[in-house]
């Protein structure tokens, strides 16, 4: 039986990562296939590149996690994640995205108390499993924020808010308080 903190922590991480995935997908639903590949300037990533990078990171970072030793697959070509290839179509990118998230949730689901007491090495840095999970969570949130920003920018006046719409904060807060009082 897992310690209550470990169980609660892992449940919370899975829940929050699920919400992060849903947020990115709700933003993706608001852009066209062509906009998926749009960049704002030469140094910017498109949503397509962000999907490709996150999928590549998830597939390799969680591979065998939490093994002792270096936790970065030698099979990964990170630099290629920032280049669009002929095979990088929307369906192909979304398939890799789903596979990456599937790997992430599978690993988070099977972690045990013993696993949480291990250390892992990421790019030469030794850290606890909890720190490694938090590092991934932060990394994903950073890029999901970029996806949402780009989708909102590209959708412009057609954008449908994914959170509390402007001018609706008081109404939203009152509704939430009423919901929790019941």
CA distances, 3 to each of 7, 112, 114, 157 (Å): 6, 9, 10, 48
Helix (H, G, I), strand (E, B) or coil at 127: strand
Question: What CATH number has the domain bearing residue 28?
Answer: 1.20.120.450
Please list the alpha-helical segments (H only) found in the chain.
4-28, 47-61, 90-110, 113-116, 129-155, 169-181
Which residues share a beta bridge with 128? 119
Tell me the pLDDT of the chain (182 aa) as tens digits. 455 888 999 999 999 999 999 999 999 999 999 999 999 999 999 999 999 999 999 998 898 899 755 555 567 788 788 889 999 999 999 999 999 999 999 999 999 989 999 999 888 889 999 999 999 999 999 999 999 999 999 999 999 999 888 888 998 888 889 888 87
What's the pTM value of the predicted model, to 2 decimals? 0.89
The residue range of the domain holding 66 is 4-181
Give the count of domains, the chain: 1
């Amino acid at each position: 039986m897992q310690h209550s903190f470990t169980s609660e922590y892992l449940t919370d991480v899975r829940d929050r990562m699920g919400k992060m995935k849903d947020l990115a997908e709700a933003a993706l639903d608001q852009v066209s296939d062509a906009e998926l590949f749009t960049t704002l300037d030469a140094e910017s990533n498109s949503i397509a590149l962000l999907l490709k990078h996150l999928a590549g990171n998830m597939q390799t970072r969680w591979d065998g996690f939490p093994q002792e030793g270096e936790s970065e697959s030698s099979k990964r070509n990170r630099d290629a994640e920032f280049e669009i290839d002929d095979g990088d179509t929307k369906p192909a990118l979304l398939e890799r995205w789903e596979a990456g998230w599937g790997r992430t949730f599978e690993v988070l689901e099977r972690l045990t108390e013993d696993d949480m007491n291990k250390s892992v090495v990421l790019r030469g840095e030794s850290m606890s499993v909890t720190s490694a999970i938090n590092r991934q969570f932060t990394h994903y949130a950073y890029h999901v924020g970029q996806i949402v920003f780009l989708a909102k920018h590209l959708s412009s006046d057609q954008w449908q808010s994914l959170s509390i719409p402007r001018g609706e904060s008081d109404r939203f807060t009152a509704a939430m308080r009423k919901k929790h009082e019941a």
